[in-house]
Amino acid sequence: MRPRKSLLYIGNKLAVHGKPPAAIDSLSLKLIEEGYSVITASSKQNKIFRMLDMVLTTIQNKNRVKLVLIDTYSTQNFYYAVIIAMFCRLFKLPYIPILHGGNLPNRLRNSKSLSNILFGEAHTNVAPSKYMMQQFQEAGINNITYVPNTIEIDNYSFRHRESITAKLLWVRSFSEIYNPLLALKVLEMLKGKGINASLCMVGPDKDGALGICKRRATALNLPVTFTGMLQKEEWIALSKEYDIFINTTNFDNMPISVMEAMALGLLVISTNVGGLPHLINDGVDGILVPSNNAEAFVDAIENLCANPIKAHEITKNARLKMEGFDWEIIKHKWIKLLGE
């Protein structure tokens, strides 16, 4: 394969420290496999040192790379993108923010001036979901390109489940915005109705929510397993023991964990927020319910358990949809965007 252009990729490359892999960890490797030369920053754990390393790497490579990719989130990491983009403009280096933060629409409103400069002066902005593209266009930012999140479908073996039970799986970082306590409330209500239900929650703590959930589960004597963070291969293997994947988040974009669950044959029930209705066709390849509504989750779970034929149709449709997000298909969008 002939070499393609040199890229600088800025993001939180913290998987080397045991953190959940971020977009930079997977996409940078995929682009290298496609012939691009990719320099990445940063893997520094300390936020200040990470920011300094990102800036220094940008300065050192300003004449070596043709384009800069910037993973862009809605919380404190938003300012990493703002600062790196400033240096890119100074060096007349084209840059592309990749819009990961599910709460970025609020950032557009709350940091309007910074957002207009960061996104408005970008080469383009990559929206991993049609929801995010729509939100940016409504805010008047039209230099935007839809390149969806992707999975490598061959890594996800579809499992047909003969029967559907209330064995629930939840996979996410424990953070208030992902509303993990709602999963416990759903389990509590199922148990209160005499349903034989259990819950496994996979993911690392982010803001103290894991400890809160553990205390709540203990106080209510709920059958919950907390695994902590697992490697992708580990939670995929674990998923074979469960039938229903619940996504309880209050904000979201196009979560990879939900896409993976759909590929694996798990029935997905998710809150109807952010990019989820653009990913899930309600009643066709998943179930959407109102946010922070345990009763709606319980009703959906009961209906799926009572209707295995419908459940099987949903999982087959979900798998078929996810095959369209395979890297071998989506990579051509990246190659067209980045150029040779």
Per-residue confidence band for 16, with pLDDT thresholds at 50, 70 and 90: confident
Inter-residue long-range contacts of 304-312, CB under 8 Å, 24+ positions, other chains counted? 304/164, 304/244, 304/267, 304/269, 305/164, 305/165, 305/166, 308/162, 308/163, 308/164, 311/161, 311/164, 311/267, 312/160, 312/161
**Domain extent listing, the chain:** 6-150+327-338, 153-323
Given the DSSP bridges, would you call strands 37-41 and 67-72 parallel, antiparallel or unpaired? unpaired
CATH class assigned to 153-323: alpha beta
Same fold, 6-150+327-338 and 153-323: yes
| pLDDT, mean of residues 64-73 | 96
Kindly tell me if the per-residue pLDDT of 1 is higher than 70.
Answer: no
| pLDDT, mean of residues 201-205 | 95
**Superfamily grouping for domain 6-150+327-338:** Glycogen Phosphorylase B; (3.40.50.2000)
Kindly tell me if the per-residue pLDDT of 3 is higher than 80.
Answer: no
Per-residue confidence band for 2, with pLDDT thresholds at 50, 70 and 90: low
Per-residue confidence band for 21, with pLDDT thresholds at 50, 70 and 90: confident
Q: What one-character-per-residue DSSP string does 212-273 give?
A: HHHHHHHHHT--EEEEES--HHHHHHHGGG-SEEEE--SS-S--HHHHHHHHHTPEEEEES-
Q: How many helices (H) and strands (E) does the chain have?
A: 14, 12
Distances (CA, A) of 97 to 24, 70, 83, 121, 122: 12, 5, 12, 10, 7
Query: Cis ω on the peptide bond leading into residue 129 (within 30° of 0)?
Result: no
pLDDT digits (tens, 9 = 90+) for 219-270: 999 999 999 999 889 999 999 999 999 999 998 888 999 999 999 999 999 9
Kindly tell me if the per-residue pLDDT of 299 is higher than 90.
Answer: yes
Kindly tell me if the per-residue pLDDT of 340 is higher than 90.
Answer: no
Q: Could you tell me which of 73, 139, 70 has the C-alpha nearest to residue 100? A: 73
Kindly tell me if the per-residue pLDDT of 191 is higher than 70.
Answer: yes
- The whole-model pTM stands at 0.92
pLDDT digits (tens, 9 = 90+) for 44-55: 999 999 999 999
